[in-house]
Structure 1
């Protein structure tokens, strides 16, 4: 597969049948739910006397309730059983549920349809752990972000098409209910047929003994997830996204009808642009992340969610059609002043949502215990469901308290900013990677050569030439894993950059004649980091270059390898000399204009050198060869 073409996965059996199975499931969920919500919004009196706003928040809440109750059990089943087999059983269950729903449509029985909503929630609960645990088993590490992006794109395209299809079919005169019943049954059958081609995906824990008590297993599952702090906080961040999305999407039917004064086509348009945005953001992750798990995109996505959530409030207040008494069709809505601004805000929220959620999924998949992926995903689904139930309750309380729908958008955007700051303060790695990502996508354009040679797992020492004050940040941004940097204690103390280095758990070192205690402590910290399986990066020159040429490598690297015999990976930065953050003594303004914005640089990665062969001279030779003549 070409590295720059994530869609090539759709032509491969290890991915395509699974993609279409989950796509058709998402499509069917949303044909059914949207048809029900549409008929209750625009033809409520024919079905019930209950408050429509209450039902619009209650039905999504009932759909996700099974996630809270049964995810722990579903996670165990996905770890114990072969995943293709589980998927096929789930699709048969979907056919049965849609048959019950068809009877509800035909008999005009609202509570039978509500029961089917719960049934589809159970269907999605069982399939959820399979969905995200399947990918790391079948995809290579460098394919994981792209694969997740395609899956998320497919999910939200399925949501989009399902919402459009459900909203359009159900309002057709005379035959609308029959069309919905037939379409949902047909889609369920197609999903089962697609699942038959899913290749075998062996169970990671076939000996696992199932705990059928969902409550004790839920507690145990969440307890296990909490042991890995970055993963657990990523689960929380993922769940917060679903809180945000649940509140926003649940308001769209009444927002379109009562605030924008649109008919059901306006409601469909809002859903369409939001879903297109999510799909576009999910696909952008592959390009923006450089084909690796780039969690620096998560703060970027979170900032966008708050900014455009606030902007949606102001756009709604400025909307020109609020005083209308007649219902607008699609063309009428688009003709109103401010309508395009609202649509741009909705699609932007979707784009930044995709940038937020895809890297979180990839981080969870790559950093949790491989034998516990399904149960970790199940733990995430439990938290997702809890957050979404709370979202439904919060939305109902706000509506009862007199909040307008734009004010709910405003409140949600502000809450998102507060929660994001809290999560990122607990795991500064997110913000640190964001700063690194910004650096290499604004001031510099960085090309990584042979980046796959940086080991995905296990301890290793990286050695690199020392050109600028931001060498560590460039290397950090290029690596798929966190790196412990060993750096001069004076650079470590530079204001602002010091926070980044401390957050990255950098190891300050000083020459023995300056601070022998700090030097010895650095070697002890390095040995401990390598013992724990971390990557450690050192700059063997011991100081920044003052002329662009490499200084002689010192013997400290040999001392490190003698204590901890691990492989050594040579790196070379080229193209960075002469930037404002180097020790080039020429005029800094002249240098800045000479290089121009978005200056190009490269990080070349060499093949690993076994510990037994490591000498300072050999390492300098390898790094010099990688760097070549380009400073």
Structure 2
């Protein structure tokens, strides 16, 4: 399945799209961090927060139209045009990077977020149409692995690029090259015509109401959105957590990101084996329980972290060579594993459960809620850390414990989910 024309070109396209988004976004943030105040159109803190908001905003503004478009057009045709748009935007971004036009780069970040918002619904709605029913869970596992590894490689790659000589030129060539390769790969995706002759376009409110009426779909979307809420908290706080709580240099942030991302990849493939290659909602319970238990263990691992002897910070090798730190790192890896086990069945379920003619619009509703939950995670972190004076470990512990509350809400509101777990538990 993986190397078939039905899947592999699409996999390359979606991986390179996520990689390019993260390289461009992180290159921009690193350029801003090292720029002199006189070069920037606004204060650094405002610029960084505005950049984050501008990338997420298109998912709220355009997901409804993106879902309608993906349901009414040939999905391969739509992907190819979106890749042409990406190449155009990245060509403009290359010029902006080389000329250090920060305001232009900010506008282009919003436009890249818009391109990603239109790619999101077709990205997941394509799978049930291109793959056999028995391949759907495996396909979703590969997509999750590719997405998180692309995020990781984009984040790390931006750091490598910006530490090299001629960083602007290298960054410009990289973003255009990845867009071009993605465009070429998109030409090999086989045609995937719309399932129906066309659907009436719905606004955001209509899409949400339509999903709300399909209770099991709505519950699954809420469960997926919680995953992105928790993941956003972890990924956003890792840099300060490393500096303040782990007494380590920024190099350790890359290790934390790698453990979390690779863990999700391992968990995604584990879910395929545990589900016997079928859509299995029963795995959501052990996934959520693991997120809670290993999240608490990750927090408890701080008990074994002591400041380094003398002043300064742990170098990466020093931190990793200290055996008492391994429990904390292993716990974070297992948080990622349990996240993969938790998320793959949920994505597979909404793809299989949604009506074929409206599948992309259901994915669009999911993207809208994901974006809202990620914004809410940022608001919660600001309120608890800045206004109430919480520490980052206290925030992490709250997120870990809230997994139990989410699980209770999930299974108290949906008989379908409860029965799925019972059937899985007893092997029926």
| 1:128 to partner: Cα distance | 0.7
Structure 1 residues 575-617: Cα deviation after superposition (integer angstroms, max 9, x where no partner): xxxxxxxxxxxxxxxxxxxxxxxxxxxxxxxxxxxxxxxxxxx
Larger relative contact order (CA 8 Å, sep ≥ 6): 2
State how far apart, in whole Å, the 1-side matches of 2:343 and 2:103 are. 34
Match of 1:34 in 2: 26
Go from structure 1 to structure 2 and tell me whether the alpha carbon gap of 1:89 and 1:428 turns closer, same or farther (over 3 Å shift).
same
Query: Structure 2: where are the runs of 5+ without partners?
Result: none
Structure 1 residues 143-185: Cα deviation after superposition (integer angstroms, max 9, x where no partner): 111111111111122222222212221122x322322222111
Match of 1:601 in 2: none
Match of 1:130 in 2: 122
Match of 1:3 in 2: none
Secondary structure of the corresponding residue to residue 11 of structure 1: coil
Structure 1 residues 262-316: Cα deviation after superposition (integer angstroms, max 9, x where no partner): 3332221111111101111111111000111110111111111122222222223
| 1:129 to partner: Cα distance | 0.7
Go from structure 1 to structure 2 and tell me whether the alpha carbon gap of 1:98 and 1:305 turns closer, same or farther (over 3 Å shift).
same
Match of 2:100 in 1: 108
Pairing 1:9-88 to 2, within 5 Å after superposition: 9-39=1-31, 43=34, 50=43, 59-88=51-80
State how far apart, in whole Å, the 2-side matches of 1:88 and 1:169 are. 28
Asked if the contact 2:73–2:193 (Cα under 8 Å) also holds between the matched residues in 1, the reply is yes
422-431 vs 43-52, greater mean Cα deviation: 43-52
Match of 2:170 in 1: 179
State how far apart, in whole Å, the 1-side matches of 2:35 and 2:314 are. 19
State how far apart, in whole Å, the 1-side matches of 2:80 and 2:196 are. 20
Q: Name the structure where helix makes up a greater proportion of residues.
A: 2
Asked if the contact 1:23–1:158 (Cα under 8 Å) also holds between the matched residues in 2, the reply is yes
> Could you tell me which of 390, 393, 399 is aligned with 2:376?
390
For normalisation by structure 2, the TM-score amounts to 0.92
Match of 1:427 in 2: 414
Match of 2:131 in 1: 139
Asked if the contact 1:297–1:434 (Cα under 8 Å) also holds between the matched residues in 2, the reply is yes
Structure 1 residues 563-586: Cα deviation after superposition (integer angstroms, max 9, x where no partner): xxxxxxxxxxxxxxxxxxxxxxxx
State how far apart, in whole Å, the 1-side matches of 2:35 and 2:255 are. 21
Secondary structure of the corresponding residue to residue 429 of structure 1: helix
Secondary structure of the corresponding residue to residue 115 of structure 1: helix
Pairing 1:478-493 to 2, within 5 Å after superposition: none
Match of 1:411 in 2: 398
Asked if the contact 1:256–1:266 (Cα under 8 Å) also holds between the matched residues in 2, the reply is yes
Match of 2:180 in 1: 189
Q: How many residues align structurally?
A: 425
Asked if the contact 2:32–2:44 (Cα under 8 Å) also holds between the matched residues in 1, the reply is no
Q: Name the structure where strand makes up a greater proportion of residues.
A: 1
Which protein shows a greater Rg? 1
In the alignment, is residue 220 of structure 1 matched against residue 206 of structure 2? Answer: yes
Asked if the contact 1:299–1:431 (Cα under 8 Å) also holds between the matched residues in 2, the reply is no
| 1:101 to partner: Cα distance | 2.6
State how far apart, in whole Å, the 1-side matches of 2:392 and 2:58 are. 27
State how far apart, in whole Å, the 1-side matches of 2:160 and 2:103 are. 22
Match of 1:151 in 2: 143
In the alignment, is residue 245 of structure 1 matched against residue 236 of structure 2? Answer: no
What root-mean-square deviation, in Å, do the aligned CA atoms of Structure 1 and Structure 2 show? 2.2
In the alignment, is residue 321 of structure 1 matched against residue 307 of structure 2? Answer: yes
State how far apart, in whole Å, the 2-side matches of 1:303 and 1:39 are. 40
Match of 2:83 in 1: 91
| 1:322 to partner: Cα distance | 7.0
Match of 1:299 in 2: 285
Pairing 1:452-601 to 2, within 5 Å after superposition: 474-475=427-428
Asked if the contact 2:59–2:113 (Cα under 8 Å) also holds between the matched residues in 1, the reply is yes
State how far apart, in whole Å, the 2-side matches of 1:78 and 1:323 are. 58
